[in-house]
Structure 1
Amino acid sequence: MVAEQARLLERARIAQDMHDVLGHDLSLIALSAGALKLAPGLEDHHRMAAQDIRAKAAAAVERLGEVIGVLREETDDAPMGPSDSGLTHLVGEASASGLAVELRVDGEGADLPPVVERAAHRVVQEALTNVAKHAPHAATTVHVSHTATETQVLVKNGPASTAAGLRPWSGGRGLIGLDERVRLVGGSFEYGPRAGGFAVVARLPHMPPAQAPRPADATPHLQGGGLPQEYRRARRSAGRTLVTTVMLPLVTGAVLSGALMGWEMVSASRSVLDPRVYARLRVGQDRSEVEHVLPDRQTVARPSATEPKGRDITCEYYAMTADRFDDRSGNAYRLCFRTNTLVSLDALAS
């Protein structure tokens, strides 16, 4: 039961991590929808749709926070790591606190998946906490190795002093929680005595395979048999709560993102001026001659360029392409009219 409590506590931390990431993404969706709502030339029913997307994204962020709050209350307070999740910062803080700790990093870890980066941070954080408790004067090494497929974290310390070794062991709940976090990302976790000291090793794949659930009575590194039936039911209930917590914002975010991207693509396609049509336009033409070949709406892109000055001059902008992956994406054609006469034609790069 103690081991299971530690696992549930770590799952609450994982849920909070998901809240931070998904809450940020949903906030960006709401921000984009708000900008779309204010776009010039937008029809009223499309403006209402953008407003609705923004409202739903904001509501999803609030609901996500409420669900995470309930989960944390049910599993006791689960303190998060520091806002700066860099391992250099973490090891630097430990060193400033008096630990003789050295950080070694092999390979490039700039593009780690967020779950791997957070799991590695938690492994180092918990391992250094244990060193501070049980071997505060021992030389400690944090070795992080990045390859194309996995990240390995090794934290090892030398023998503890006699005085520190007499301190009571806290029960290993933090290590059990780490085992649960590493397992959930498809990795492996080991810990135990090494060369008179202690070592913690975690292997974190960058693309974890599908995981089969661990049997209810499998409790690594601990003695004991199966859990009581009542506790297994409580664990299943907590698991369903966690799945709901994670999946609800994921699905909501995917739907909102898809709707917003779909609207942007449709809107962009209706503002594209065919290059062949542009090539046939001539300065001096009357607006009535060119109106029937112009797109339904103007593009929201406005490449920086000085507009012609003069009274009664108005300029219109039309996209060169609706394909985001086209090199011309963001470029625009500018047509300027004085009263009803075309006075300038420009192809502008963003």
Structure 2
Amino acid sequence: MKILGRPPVRRTLEALAAVGFGLLAALPEPGLPTLLLLGGAAVAVGLWPRGVRAGLGGLAVLVVLSVARAIWLDGHWLYLADELPSALLRAGVPWLIAVSLRLYVSLGRRAEQDREHRRRRRVAELKQQVAADRLALAQSLHDDLGHSLSLVALNLGRLEVDPTLPQAARDSLSGARSELARAVERLGDSVVGLRAGAPLAPSHAESADALIHRARTAGARISVRGLPEGRRLADFGGERVVRILQEAITNASRHAPGAAIAIDAADRGRELRIRVTNGIPPRSPEIHTSGTGLADLGREIRATGGGFEAMPSGDEFVLTAVLRADGAPEGRSAEREDRHRETVSDGSAADGTKRTQRRVLIAAAAVIVCGLATAESISVVQKSNALLSPEAFADIEVGDARDDVVRFLPGQELPFRRGESRPPDCHHYAVTANSFDDAAGDVYQICFARGVVSSVDHIAGETR
């Protein structure tokens, strides 16, 4: 159900807040309790989400009341120049500071919301891109790799029944064809998962012992020393350990076929060190590969706080990996890279927000400084128009004719302060126009009676 009349209620609240703020700010010569109350009201109005219009309305009420009081009650417009700037500063400075603080916080929250919106949009775009890549990869695997593996299996099957081959060779070909059939089956499952968008099953779900046994059965000469059992390997990410061994064995079998492979592991409590070595043949076979398996594996292990190195050392190729027991799960590397990209891409937006926040604070400070400068300028102009030089004051003596003295006096005099009582026909003139002078606020008082000077006094500002 829609509540009727809400905008008028809000406008009424704004009007009441503006009038109350303006009336409180217009109180003449406020004491400490009034100043504290005014400061609290100004801060409350400034922190209010609709406080900009309410505050400006309150300052407008203050100006109107000050003009009316100066003209109709005090009877002299100079009171307006004397009291309005200080009243505007008393009410405007805390209000403006509160408004700036609210805008500063609001800009920060808005920037955070913008970053979250961009992050969600980026995630959606990445998901769409990943979906397209999965479909393209599935099509490529099905059309190219699947067809090639099928032809290899067909040739192996033809050789398996070739009567000219010895039985041992046919048995080896039968085992190879079985391994190839299982690989094709796993490839088919992967293609189905890629097309459906379902999570892919881990390609190295077997244990480390099963992997080594299968490699030995295929003819690899592998020696193992110090490798922990399966439960302990799970503390270091069992699938990652299997992947390290699989990459090392595949790399050695591909580039150094027939070479002995030595796997040495050392469990040091919080970390597991794995070292896999194999000899380097005098002439490596020419095999074209992407070369990204070891590189991707190294990046993944380093991203989880571990270490990885794979390079020739003398006449051996050495792969060394260090896994930590509290290592992050697989996929954390991509997550960290996404966060890094998000931070970098949001850098310009964050810089823009900070610049806007600085501009708000600078604008608030500029308004305050301009207000103080305006008040000081008005005060200086007022005092300068009523300034009597010390030399001229020293030349005026009691008994001098009024007509002679008037020629030395300024064209204007200082107006009465509110509540001030002066003797009849006495006039006040400024001693100095500099507000930072020790004599600021002091006045020269010259009184006349019967056409001559009756008294000449220098009155300190605190005694007026």
Give the TM bin, normalised by the shorter chain.
0.3 to 0.5
TM-score when normalising by structure 1: 0.37
| Larger of the two Rg values belongs to structure | 2
Q: Which structure would you say has the larger RCO, counting Cα contacts within 8 Å and 6 or more residues apart?
A: 1
User: Which protein is richer in strand relative to its size?
Assistant: 1
User: Which protein is richer in helix relative to its size?
Assistant: 2
